[in-house]
């Protein structure tokens, strides 16, 4: 439960400026933390930090591991400062475009630099107590991930379902022999995850020391071609050949007339329950060590989830299947009673989902772009907001507020918004008016996307659900963190009791 009024900004790390293709844990992340403090913000919300893939469109919600961090977020500058790179190696790194995320080139660049760092990882480093502590702490997932990653490279990127049977079925003797033969390559993957953890922890400490809490996001599903499904196929609905029998998605909704077909394998919740939800609790605990507050994406999937037979081209002909519900959360909260969780409850929400949210007093979400549909009982309208909730102008799945107003809001929605505000609304005024409306909401936490803080248009949209390419690439322009912007946000936070 959220206990006091506060504010924050939604800004994914890859959207920060840097000369290395994507934003990372480097100097601009610390500058953004300074900006948050000056703006009177208490929360930095970011998207999942897990390992995305080219096949998944570099979506942070479609990754090759539910645990491993994204190496592209490792800062070359920090590697130099920590002694893992030389000045000449840093200077030789190619400067990449700053206007949009260049994931492919950024990945190649990081691979080269991390290779240089790994060459300095000698026998003395193996005895480093911090590294040994990391190996012990991550032992539940790190070995499987490192072997999976190296195996995938040796199989030329093929899905694990296409690997030779001995690897696909995880034959013990075969994996042990492979681990001996590929010891250095496997150790390299573990070292990269160590660097990720070290840099992230340093940034988190800096934020926390400055009164800023990190607000993370955990997708409910994992990618089929992932270390998790390969290592734990019994936890998913797979056939005898270990191919998905059913895939995840959502029925037709606001974003798509044919629904969204995500393609992730769905969980065999009975099998998970029989094992005490061990994998799930490990995953939840891992995320709660990273973040001070954690949003569970597609929360309604725990009450019931949309299951589509594998092979269907759209999500229209799916079926709602009962999820684990309270049984899962009872198990989770017995083990992690102080877990600070948020329910992403957008979309088709039933009374049963509401009951589950209220049972555990989880904060829910309110989005102002969804508020103006003519109905006074719309839960997104500010006068209907409950205190234990988080209000957004829009989320990473929405257009920017300016883009919404200019290209998506109906004439009726514009009229209702103007009536609600008691003043006419234009393209020039809509963003500050919506920000003020969010700040004034009864919701205890107000989160503003950085694109709205900068009053950017549709060109700055982060993600369009159901669109297969062109997402996640928005980058904030260098020099955007202006003192005047921070001061204006701080004044609003003070006015509406969010300091």
Catalytic residues: 297, 344, 397
Residue 171, token pair as written in the block: 């034959």
Between CA 128 and CA 87 the distance in angstroms is 24
Between CA 280 and CA 299 the distance in angstroms is 14
Helices (H), ranges, 120-210: 123-126, 129-137, 142-154, 165-168, 172-181, 183-209
Helices (H), ranges, 211-369: 227-231, 269-274, 278-290, 326-335, 351-359
Cβ 13 vs Cβ 46: under 8 Å: yes
Full DSSP string of 356-400 = HHHHTT--EEEEGGGS-SS-TT-TTSGGG--SSEEEES--TTSPP
Cβ 450 vs Cβ 401: under 8 Å: no
Between CA 150 and CA 183 the distance in angstroms is 10
Residues near 251 by beta carbon (within 8 Å), at least 6 away in sequence: 259, 306, 315, 316, 318, 348
Phi, psi of 260 (to 5 degrees): -120, 125
Residue 497, token pair as written in the block: 């009791």
Of 281, 325, 266, 283, the residue nearest 300 (C-alpha): 325
């Amino acid at each position: 439960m959220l206990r006091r009024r506060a504010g924050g900004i939604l800004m994914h790390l890859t959207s920060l400026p840097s000369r290395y293709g994507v934003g990372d844990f480097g100097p601009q992340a610390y500058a953004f933390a300074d900006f948050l403090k000056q703006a009177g913000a208490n929360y930095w919300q970011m998207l999942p930090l897990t390992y995305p893939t080219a096949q998944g469109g570099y979506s942070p919600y479609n990754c090759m591991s539910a645990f491993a961090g994204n190496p592209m977020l490792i800062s070359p500058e920090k590697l130099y400062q920590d002694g893992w790179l030389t000045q000449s190696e840093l200077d030789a790194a190619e400067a990449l475009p700053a206007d949009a995320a260049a994931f492919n080139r950024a990945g190649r660049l990081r691979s080269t630099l991390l290779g240089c760092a790994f060459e300095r990882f000698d026998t003395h480093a193996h005895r480093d107590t911090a590294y040994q502590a990391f190996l012990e702490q991550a032992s539940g997932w790190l070995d499987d991930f490192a072997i999976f990653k190296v195996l995938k490279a040796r199989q030329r990127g093929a899905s694990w379902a296409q690997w030779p049977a001995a690897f696909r079925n995880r034959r013990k003797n075969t994996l042990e022999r492979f681990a001996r033969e590929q010891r250095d390559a496997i150790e390299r993957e573990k070292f990269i995850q160590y660097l990720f953890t070290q840099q992230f922890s340093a940034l988190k400490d800096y934020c926390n020391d400055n009164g800023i809490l990190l607000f993370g996001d955990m997708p409910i599903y994992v990618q089929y071609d992932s270390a998790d499904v390969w290592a734990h196929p019994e936890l998913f609905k797979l056939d005898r050949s270990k191919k998905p029998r059913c895939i995840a998605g959502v029925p037709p909704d606001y974003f798509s007339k044919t629904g969204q077909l995500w393609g992730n394998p769905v969980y065999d919740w009975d099998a998970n329950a029989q094992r005490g939800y061990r994998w799930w609790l490990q995953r939840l605990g891992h995320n709660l060590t990273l973040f001070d507050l954690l949003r569970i994406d597609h929360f309604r999937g725990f009450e019931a989830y949309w299951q589509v037979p594998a092979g269907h081209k759209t999500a229209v002909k799916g079926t709602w299947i009962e999820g684990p519900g309270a049984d899962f959360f009872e198990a989770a909260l017995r083990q992690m009673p102080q877990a600070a969780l948020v329910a992403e409850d957008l979309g088709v929400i039933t009374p049963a989902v509401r009951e589950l949210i209220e049972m555990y007093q989880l904060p829910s979400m309110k989005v102002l772009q969804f508020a103006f549909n003519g109905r006074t009982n719309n839960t997104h309208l500010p006068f209907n907001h409950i205190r234990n909730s988080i209000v957004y102008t829009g989320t990473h799945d929405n257009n920017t507020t300016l883009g919404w107003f200019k290209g998506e809001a109906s004439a009726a929605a514009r009229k209702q918004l103007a009536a609600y505000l008691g003043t006419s609304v234009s393209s020039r005024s809509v963003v500050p008016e919506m920000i003020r409306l969010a700040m004034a909401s009864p919701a205890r936490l107000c989160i503003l996307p950085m694109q709205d803080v900068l009053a950017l248009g549709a060109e700055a949209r982060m993600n369009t659900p159901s669109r297969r390419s062109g997402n996640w690439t928005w980058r904030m322009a260098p020099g955007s963190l202006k003192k005047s912007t921070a001061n204006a946000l701080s004044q609003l936070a003070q006015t509406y009791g969010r300091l």
